[in-house]
Structure 1
Amino acid sequence: MTESERKTEMVASEKKSKGHALVLPYPSQGHINPMLQFGKRIASHGRLATAAITRFIVSTTTPNAGHVAIETISDGFDDAGFASNFLTNRTRAFTDNIYPATNQILLQEMNWLASVRRAITIGPTIPSVYLDNRIPDDHRYAIDLFRPETSACKSWIASLPPASAIFVSFGSMATLSAAQFAELAFGLAATNRPFLWVVRSSEKAKLPPGFPDSTVKKNGGMLVSWAPQLELLASGKFGCFVTHCGWNSTIEGLGLGVAMVGLPQWTDQCTDARLGEWKEASRRAMDDGGSSDRNITELLDKFC
Structure 2
Amino acid sequence: MEKEKRAHHAHVLLVPHPRQGHINPLLQFSKRLLSKGRIRVTLAVTVSLVKTMEVQTGPISVETFSDGYDNGRRKEDSPVEYFERFKMVGSQTLTELIKKQESLGDPINCVVYDSFLPWVLDVAKQFNLIGASFFTQSCAVYNIYYHVQQGILTVPVAGRPVISLSGLPSLAVTDLPSFVSEYELRPELLPIVLGQFSNIDKTDWLLINSFDKLEQEVVNWMAKLWPVKTIGPTVPSFYLDERVEGDKAYGLNLFKPVADACMNWLNMRETGSVVYVSYGSIAELGDEQMKELALSLKESNNHFLWVVRQSEEKKLPTNFVEETLEKGVLCPVLLVYIKPVIKLECGLT
TM-score (norm 2): 0.58
Instruction: Identify the residue that residue 205 of structure 1 maps to in structure 2.
Output: 314
| Contact 2:47/2:66, CA 8 A, preserved across alignment | yes
Which residue number in structure 2 is paired with residue 221 of structure 1? 328
The change in CA–CA distance for 1:159 and 1:63 in structure 2 (over 3 A counts) is same
1:157 matches 2:266: yes
Indicate the structure whose relative CO is greater, using CA pairs within 8 Å and at least 6 residues apart. Answer: 1
- 1:101 is displaced (CA, Å) by 9.8
Cα separation, partners in 2 of 1:35 and 1:82, compared to 1, 3 Å = farther
Q: 1:144 to 1:86 in 2, by over 3 A?
A: farther
Map 1:122-201 onto structure 2 (within 5 A).
Answer: 122-201=231-310
CA pair 85-148 structure 1, distance change in 2 beyond 3 A: farther
CA contact (8 A) 1:20 1:48 kept: yes
Out of 33, 42, 52, the position equivalent to 1:42 is 33
**Worse-matched range after superposition: 44-53 or 135-144:** 135-144
> CA–CA distance in 2 between the matches of 1:187 and 1:129?
33
1:61 matches 2:151? no
CA 1:106/1:20 → structure 2, altered by over 3 Å: closer, same or farther? closer
Q: Which moved more, 1:196-205 or 1:40-49?
A: 40-49
> What amino acid does structure 2 have at the position aligned with 1:176?
L
Unmatched segments (≥5 aa) in structure 1: 1-7, 247-304
Q: 1:95 to 1:27 in 2, by over 3 A?
A: farther
Q: Which amino acid aligns with 1:44?
A: S
> What is the CA-CA distance between 1:83 and the residue it aligns to?
10
Give deviations 1:44-72, integer Å, cap 9, x for gaps: 11211111111111121232212211111
Deviation at 1:151, TM superposition (A): 2.6
**Equivalent pair of 1:28/1:83 in contact (CA under 8 Å):** no
Per-residue CA deviation, residues 86-128 of structure 1 (Å, 9 max, x unaligned), is: 5497799996126789999999x98875322231111111111
Distance 1:152 1:142 in 2: 19
Question: Which residue of structure 1 aligns with residue 70 of structure 2?
Answer: 78
Query: 2:10 aligned with 1:19, yes or no?
Result: yes
Give me the whole-angstrom Cα distance separating, in 1, the residues matched to 2:59 and 2:13. 13
Give the counterpart letter for 1:64 in structure 2: Q
What are structure 2's unaligned runs of at least 5 residues?
Answer: 84-178, 201-217
1:125–1:80 Cα change, 3 Å: same
CA change 1:20–1:103 in 2 (3 A) is closer
TM-superposed deviation, 1:174: 1.5
* Shift in Å, 1:194: 0.9
In structure 2, relative to structure 1, the CA distance for the partners of 1:100 and 1:86 (3 Å cut) is: closer
Deviations 1:161-188 (A, max 9, x none): 1101111111122111111101111111
Correspondent of 2:186 among 96, 99, 119? 96
SS at match of 2:244: coil
Contact in 1 for aligned 2:274/2:342 (Cα 8 Å): yes
Deviates more, 1:119-128 or 1:93-102: 93-102
> Is the 1:75–1:82 Cα contact (8 Å) retained in structure 2?
no
Between Structure 1 and Structure 2, the one with more helix by share is 1
The 1-side partners of 2:10 and 2:227 are apart by 23
For 1:42 and 1:184, the matched residues in 2 are separated by 40
Q: Is the 8 A contact 1:64 1:143 kept in 2?
A: yes
* CA drift at 1:12: 2.2
Computing the radius of gyration from Cα coordinates, the structure with the larger value is 2
Separation in 2, partners of 1:128, 1:76? 34
State percent identity of aligned pairs.
33
Distance change >3 Å, CA 145–CA 129, structure 1 → 2: same
